[in-house]
């Protein structure tokens, strides 16, 4: 089977003033469709740079990146934009919703840039469906400031899903959330993954990484370990346990 | 469809910051309002000028009595009487291609009839005067050459004066006392409106010039003479003939200054128009500068907006907006801003023009041309001054934009 994502001797370097920074050095990585991968590492390890390239926000300095067999390095800025629009959904640590704009309009955003365009009615239906999928159908007209962090992240996930991409990229999706909400978000990711979506998530939290199927650990721009997760957590199960613990605390004198 | 979407995104963005949007538009509002008001005033003045050309009569040549030069002082034309009854007779007899000639003697006096009185202009003129000026009687008849010869106390009354002195009564046949001398009204003049100085021409009493000179002013000379040439083509010839004749009669030879001045009405109108044009040009540049300042305001606010919304641009790019989408979004915002400002400016300018007409009585004429122009200029300002900030926005790198704090 052709891998969904294939990095071949991929390197990325920046010029920070006079100094050349090698953010990622000569990485080769394959991710199959339907995988749920957690990329871990300290800050400066190159994980964000790799995510930006996988997300078609950037092109490799050297080496090659194939997304569904297409060599991304040879694409123009506009072609990259179209690729992001159609194949990739982004979820960010800071949610990055448009302020003073309703949840519904935030979710509609990617469809405004679809080519060919999405018809008005289909656009509404798809936005509604995406919001229902993350359990926010009732709050479509709320603005980000009227929503909790967890709800904002759900809106962001709905936005990422609305164009039905094959790949969901999440950069520290639980970085700003409490444990309970974090597990809920992981539940949504596991659900989506079960339905066949490839999920790649950057995180530095070990317990969050245990919801994935595979972890890739990076250091100094190189991959140090790449292994399947043993003792994988199930979000629904964890939520149930958490509830019991809380009840136990309340019952205790 | 895509344009409509872009437009709605722009309106949404502008409404998030209503106060700032309004302040930004102020420059354009005032610039456009100035253009509209200026053009309306200019057009109004021009229309009135054109009306006054017609009001003066067709192919009219005016001979002004000369300047009085005494000990270095020089009065204006008409300030001293150098035009005599003999000059008048000579012109009547010797200048060819003239339909009519009439002297003008002007004076202001208190008029009284019944228990009403008014201070009006009294003009002593010849029997051909109202024909020269295409100024018919609305009732009654013109006085005759015999009335002029005999210095009869007859008069033609202007519409305004008649209304004040006689209200609803028929003025023809009534007596009006001018400085206690009783004049019989033989006709009422049709309305002529204001002249190019803005004076009501219907507040007037026309009497035979002989009567005016003998019974009212005591003058022996005329202030001016009015001629009507038979056709526009011979205006120049008539003007030259009159000038030559008067030089000959006044013994003006060689390089000596004329003691009279011959002007066609076109020349008079052009003189006024030239002054009006200077004022118009000045106002135009003021308006232009105001619009440029307004445009810089738009550019300034768009640059602030782009910086402020860097993350938003990053998100839009990440979800698949192309550079062109971002460019169009911000450009549409700038154009919407300047066009809304333009529309408000047009409304404000039209309102100002109305107010000027209402309060000051100056004529204004708002042309659809100036409105279209103002709208076009507003759009052009939006595109011109909005382009650089929009281009800047569209060239942002998605990763940098997303990380921007």
Q: Is B398–A57 a contact, with Cβ atoms under 8 angstroms apart? A: yes
Residues of chain A with C-beta less than 8 angstroms from the C-beta of B318: 55, 57, 84, 90, 96
Domains of chain A: 35-57+76-251 (3.40.50.300)
The residue among B194, B210, B214 whose CA lies nearest residue B202 is B194
From A58, A78, A86, residue closest to B322, measured CB to CB: A78
Residues of chain B with C-beta less than 8 angstroms from the C-beta of A77: 322-323
Give the mutation candidate from B20, B320, B327, B403 for the A interface (greatest A CB count, under 10 A).
B320
Nearest residue of B to residue A79, measured between CA atoms: B322
Average the pLDDT over A90-101 and give the result.
89
SS3 A59: coil
Q: Residue B253: in which H helix or E strand, if any?
A: none
Which are the contacts of A5, defined by CB distance < 8 A and separation ≥ 6?
A: A29, A30, A31, A54, A65, A66, A67, A167, A198, A200
- Smallest CA–CA distance, residue B197 to chain A, in Å, is 59
Q: Is B325–A110 a contact, with Cβ atoms under 8 angstroms apart? A: no
- Smallest CA–CA distance, residue B322 to chain A, in Å, is 5
CA distance to A88, A203, A228, B228, per residue, from A46 (Å) = 20, 12, 21, 97
Q: Is A81–B2 a contact, with Cβ atoms under 8 angstroms apart? A: no
pLDDT at A37: 96
CA distance to A159, A173, A174, B127, per residue, from A178 (Å) = 22, 11, 8, 106
Q: Is A113–B311 a contact, with Cβ atoms under 8 angstroms apart? A: no
From B16, B316, B402, residue closest to A109, measured CB to CB: B316
Q: Is A96–B311 a contact, with Cβ atoms under 8 angstroms apart? A: yes
Which are the contacts of B317, defined by CB distance < 8 A and separation ≥ 6?
A: A57, A81, B326, B396, B398, B401
Exposure of A1 by Cβ count < 10 A (0-12 exposed, 13-18 middle, 19+ buried)? exposed
Q: What whole-number distance in Å separates Cα of residue B358 and Cα of residue B352? A: 10
Average the pLDDT over A208-216 and give the result.
95
- Smallest CA–CA distance, residue B398 to chain A, in Å, is 6
Nearest residue of A to residue B402, measured between CA atoms: A96
pLDDT at B77: 53
- Smallest CA–CA distance, residue B380 to chain A, in Å, is 27
Residue B99 half-sphere exposure toward CB, CA atoms < 13 A = 19
Average the pLDDT over A56-82 and give the result.
92
From B1, B320, B399, residue closest to A84, measured CB to CB: B320
Residues of chain A with C-beta less than 8 angstroms from the C-beta of B12: 101
pLDDT at B388: 95
Residues of chain B with pLDDT under 50: 68-73
From B12, B320, B402, residue closest to A96, measured CB to CB: B402
Examine the pLDDT at A11 and tell me if it is beyond 80. Answer: yes
Give the mutation candidate from B5, B305, B316, B319 for the A interface (greatest A CB count, under 10 A).
B319
> What ipTM was predicted for this assembly?
0.93
Which are the contacts of B286, defined by CB distance < 8 A and separation ≥ 6?
A: B34
Q: Is B320–A57 a contact, with Cβ atoms under 8 angstroms apart? A: no
- Smallest CA–CA distance, residue A238 to chain B, in Å, is 32
B74: number of Cβ within 10 Å: 12
Q: Please identify which residue in the block is written with the tokens 């969050």.
A: A208
pLDDT at A253: 62
- DSSP secondary structure, B193-251, as one string: -B-TTS-BTTSEEEEEHHHIIIIII--SSBSEEEEEESSGGGHHHHHHHHHHHHHHHHT
pLDDT at B197: 64
Length of chain B: 405
Residues of chain B with C-beta less than 8 angstroms from the C-beta of A109: 315-316, 319
Q: Residue B308: in which H helix or E strand, if any?
A: helix B265-308
A128-186 pLDDT, tens digit each: 999 999 999 999 999 999 999 999 999 999 999 999 999 999 999 998 899 999 999 99
Examine the pLDDT at A64 and tell me if it is beyond 60. Answer: yes
What φ, ψ does residue A27 adopt, rounded to 5°? -100, 140
pLDDT at B72: 47
Q: Is A86–B320 a contact, with Cβ atoms under 8 angstroms apart? A: yes
Nearest residue of B to residue A52, measured between CA atoms: B399
Q: Is A81–B1 a contact, with Cβ atoms under 8 angstroms apart? A: no
A2: pLDDT confidence band, cut at 50, 70 and 90? Answer: low
């Amino acid at each position: 089977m052709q891998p969904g994502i294939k990095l071949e001797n991929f390197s990325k370097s920046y010029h920070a003033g006079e100094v050349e920074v090698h953010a990622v050095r000569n990485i080769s990585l394959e991710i199959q469709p339907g995988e749920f991968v957690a990329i871990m590492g300290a800050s400066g390890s190159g994980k964000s740079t790799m995510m930006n390239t996988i997300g078609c926000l950037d092109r490799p300095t050297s080496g090659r990146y194939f997304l569904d067999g297409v060599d991304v390095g040879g694409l123009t800025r506009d072609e990259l934009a179209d690729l992001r629009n159609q194949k990739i959904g982004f979820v960010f640590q800071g949610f990055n919703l448009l302020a003073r704009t309703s949840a519904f309009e935030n979710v509609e955003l990617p469809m405004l840039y679809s080519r060919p365009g999405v018809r008005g009615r289909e656009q509404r239906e798809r936005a509604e469906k995406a919001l229902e999928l993350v359990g926010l159908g009732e709050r479509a007209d709320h603005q980000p400031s009227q929503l909790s962090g967890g709800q904002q992240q759900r809106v962001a996930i709905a936005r990422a899903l609305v164009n039905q991409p094959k790949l969901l990229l999440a950069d520290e999706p639980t970085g700003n959330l409490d444990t309970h909400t974090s597990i809920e978000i992981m539940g949504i990711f596991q659900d989506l993954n079960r339905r066949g979506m490839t999920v790649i998530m950057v995180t530095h939290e070990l317990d969050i990484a245990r919801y994935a199927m595979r972890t890739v650990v990076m250091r100094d721009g190189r991959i140090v370990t790449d292994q399947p997760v043993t003792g994988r957590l199930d979000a629904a199960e964890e939520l149930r346990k958490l509830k019991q613990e809380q009840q136990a605390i309340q019952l205790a004198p | 469809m895509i344009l409509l979407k872009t437009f709605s995104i722009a309106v949404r963005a502008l409404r998030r910051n209503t106060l700032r949007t309004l302040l930004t538009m102020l420059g354009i509002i005032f610039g456009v309002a100035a253009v509209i008001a200026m053009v309306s005033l200019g057009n109004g003045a021009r229309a009135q000028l054109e009306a006054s050309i017609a009001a003066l009569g067709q192919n009219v040549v005016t001979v002004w009595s000369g300047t009085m030069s005494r000990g270095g002082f020089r009065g204006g034309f008409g300030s001293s009487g150098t035009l005599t009854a003999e000059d008048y007779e000579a012109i009547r007899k010797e200048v060819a291609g003239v339909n009519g000639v009439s002297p003008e003697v002007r004076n202001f006096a208190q008029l009284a009839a019944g228990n009403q009185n008014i201070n009006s202009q009294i003009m002593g003129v010849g029997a051909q005067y109202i024909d020269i000026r295409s100024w018919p009687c609305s009732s009654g008849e013109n006085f005759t050459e015999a009335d002029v010869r005999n210095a009869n106390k007859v008069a033609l009354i202007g519409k305004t004066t008649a209304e004040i002195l006689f209200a609803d009564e028929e003025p023809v046949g009534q007596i009006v006392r001018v400085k206690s001398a009783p004049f019989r009204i033989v006709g009422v003049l049709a309305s002529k409106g204001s002249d190019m100085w803005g004076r009501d021409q219907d507040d007037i009493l026309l009497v035979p010039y002989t009567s005016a000179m003998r019974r009212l002013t005591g003058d022996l000379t005329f202030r001016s003479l009015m001629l009507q040439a038979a056709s526009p083509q011979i205006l120049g010839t008539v003007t030259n003939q009159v000038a030559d004749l008067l030089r000959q009669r006044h013994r003006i030879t060689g390089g000596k200054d004329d003691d009279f001045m011959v002007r066609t009405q076109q020349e008079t109108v052009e003189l006024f128009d030239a002054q009006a044009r200077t004022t118009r040009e000045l106002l135009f540049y003021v308006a232009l500068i105001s619009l440029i300042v307004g445009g810089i305001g738009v550019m300034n606010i768009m640059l602030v907006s782009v910086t402020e919304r860097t993350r938003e641009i990053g998100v839009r790019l990440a979800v698949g907006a192309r550079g062109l989408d971002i460019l169009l979004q911000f450009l549409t915002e700038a154009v919407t801003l300047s066009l809304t400002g333009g529309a408000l400016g047009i409304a404000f300018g039209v309102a100002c023009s109305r107010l000027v007409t209402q309060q000051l009585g100056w004529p204004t004429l708002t042309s659809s041309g100036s409105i279209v122009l103002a709208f076009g200029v507003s759009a052009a300002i939006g595109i011109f001054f909005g382009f650089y900030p929009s281009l800047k926005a569209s060239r942002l790198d998605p990763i940098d934009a997303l990380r921007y704090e």
